[in-house]
Structure 1
C-alpha cells in the first residue's frame, strides 16, 4: 500500500514519527505535514499566499500551511503517485465528539476524502499530550497498524472517513476496538479577558467543555472504558430528519 501521512501538530511531532514507523512496515509512506503546529485549523485552506513545500533531511515534506493545505497540494500536483489511503495523526490529544468540527487532524483526513481517497484520522487521548515523547505514541500507532492490515476488507461509502481515538498507555491496557458515534461536549470554558504587558486588552479562548453526552455507545464512553474508539464520519452535514420540519416552516407562498 502507498500511504500519505499528515497531521496538525507539525512535521516534527512525535505522533507523526510514530505513525510513520508503523506505516513503513506496511508499505510506502510519504509524509506531507505543516511546518509548525496548526491545531484547531479545521478545514482552512491558504488562499492569500503561496505554499512552499520543503523536503527535510529525514525525507518528510514540510509545508507552510494548514493540514488541509498539505493534503490538498499533495493530491493535486506535489506527489507523482496516488496514495491508497490518507492517514492523519497521531494527534497530541483527543478528537472526541464536537472536537471534530475544529480538528485539523480530522480536516486533513476529510480533505483526502473530498478528493476521492480513503482516509482515517488518529488521536491519542492522554493528559498533557504535548509533553509526551515518541514512545507514548507507539502503542496507538500499533493499534492503527492492526486496522490497516485488514483495510481491504472494509468498503466505506463515498465521503466517509474513520475517526480513531486511542487511550494512552501500553497495549496490554487497551480493551479492544469499539464502533462508536460522536458524543457531545458542553459549552467551552469562559474566554479569559486579560491585559498584555503593555496594558492592551487581550482575549484567551477557554478550554473545551466537559462531556455532556458520554453515554454508552459514544466515543467518550468507549475511550473512558479503555477501548479504542472507531467512529465513521460523513462529510455530508445535512440533518435529514429535520428537512420536513423546515419544509413545513417554509409554508407555500414563502417557499415558492
Structure 2
C-alpha cells in the first residue's frame, strides 16, 4: 500500500520554523509534499490571486537525504492549495495540514487566518484538513513540546476521517517547554478585537496608519478554545465553511420580502 500523501502548507512562508517542524513530524506518517508561500502571508484570510500572475518553483530548503518535494508560491495560502491540487501534485492528498502558525488562531482569529484558510480551501475540495497554530508569535518559538500531540491528531484524522464539510482548527498553548496537559475538543469562543489605528507621518511627510489593538474575550464558558488554552490544553475546534446561519432563516422568512 502507498503511504498517505500529506500536503503541507502555511502562511508564514516556506522557511518558517513552524513549517519545518510540521514537515519533520508529518514525515513520520506518510509521504510529504510542501507547497507554501515564498514570503509571509499572515492575516490574508481566504484571499486568492485573480488579477496578477502567480509564480511557483521547486525549491530545496532541506538538503538532507529523504527530504520532501517542496514548492514555493508567490500567492496566498489558499493559492498554494489550489495550485497544489490542480498543477503540482500527481495524486489527491489524503490530508492537508497547515502550520504550524507562529501565533494563535483561536476564537475570532480564525476569520483572518491564512493558516486556516489554506486548510479550508482543501476542505472545500473534499480533502481532510487541519490547521495548527502555536500561541507564540516569536520566530524562535519552541514547537517541540507540541509535536507528539500534532502527530497523534493527524494520525487519528487519517485513520478515522474528518466529518464532511468540516476542518479542524487546532491551537496549542505556549507551555515554556513542558508538554501540553492534553487535548480538548471545544467550541470557538466569542470574542473580538478592540482595534485602533496609530496615525504616523513618514519621513516624506505622508500620513500613514498602523493597526493595533487587543483581544477582548466575551465568553466565560469552560467549553471554549480560549478556556482550554488558558488551562494549558490543546484546543481542537471543528470548523465548518458553510456560513449559513440556519437558525436565522425562519425569522428572515417572516419579513415582507415578496410584498409589493
TM-score, length basis structure 1: 0.92
Once structures 1 and 2 are overlaid, which stretch shifts more, 137-146 or 216-225?
Answer: 137-146
Rounded to whole Å, the distance in 1 between the matches of 2:239 and 2:103 is 19
Cross-structure match for 2:139: 131
Cross-structure match for 2:66: none
Cross-structure match for 1:76: 86
Aligned-residue CA RMSD (Å) = 1.6
Which residue of 8, 32, 36 corresponds with 1:33?
A: 36
SS at match of 1:194: strand
SS at match of 2:238: strand
Which residue of 132, 137, 156 corresponds with 1:150?
A: 156
Mapped contact 2:146–2:179 kept (Cα < 8 A):
no
Cross-structure match for 2:74: 64
Cross-structure match for 2:203: 197
Rounded to whole Å, the distance in 2 between the matches of 1:200 and 1:213 is 40
Question: 1:250 aligned to 2:256?
Answer: yes
Cross-structure match for 2:171: 165
Mapped contact 1:98–1:185 kept (Cα < 8 A):
yes
Which residue of 5, 10, 15 corresponds with 2:8?
A: 5
SS at match of 1:74: helix
Cross-structure match for 1:229: 235
TM-score, length basis structure 2: 0.91
Q: CA deviation at 1:206?
A: 1.7
Sort the Cα spacing of 1:30 and 1:207 in 2 relative to 1 into closer, same or farther, 3 A. Answer: farther
Rounded to whole Å, the distance in 2 between the matches of 1:111 and 1:3 is 15
Mapped contact 1:140–1:168 kept (Cα < 8 A):
no
Rounded to whole Å, the distance in 2 between the matches of 1:216 and 1:90 is 25
Question: 1:86 aligned to 2:92?
Answer: no
Equivalenced residues, count: 250
Question: 1:42 aligned to 2:50?
Answer: no
Q: CA deviation at 1:25?
A: 0.9
Mapped contact 1:19–1:138 kept (Cα < 8 A):
no
Q: CA deviation at 1:186?
A: 3.2
Question: 1:21 aligned to 2:24?
Answer: yes
More helix, by proportion: 1
Once structures 1 and 2 are overlaid, which stretch shifts more, 243-252 or 213-222?
Answer: 243-252
Once structures 1 and 2 are overlaid, which stretch shifts more, 41-50 or 88-97?
Answer: 41-50
Mapped contact 2:102–2:139 kept (Cα < 8 A):
no
Q: CA deviation at 1:173?
A: 4.0
Cross-structure match for 2:65: none
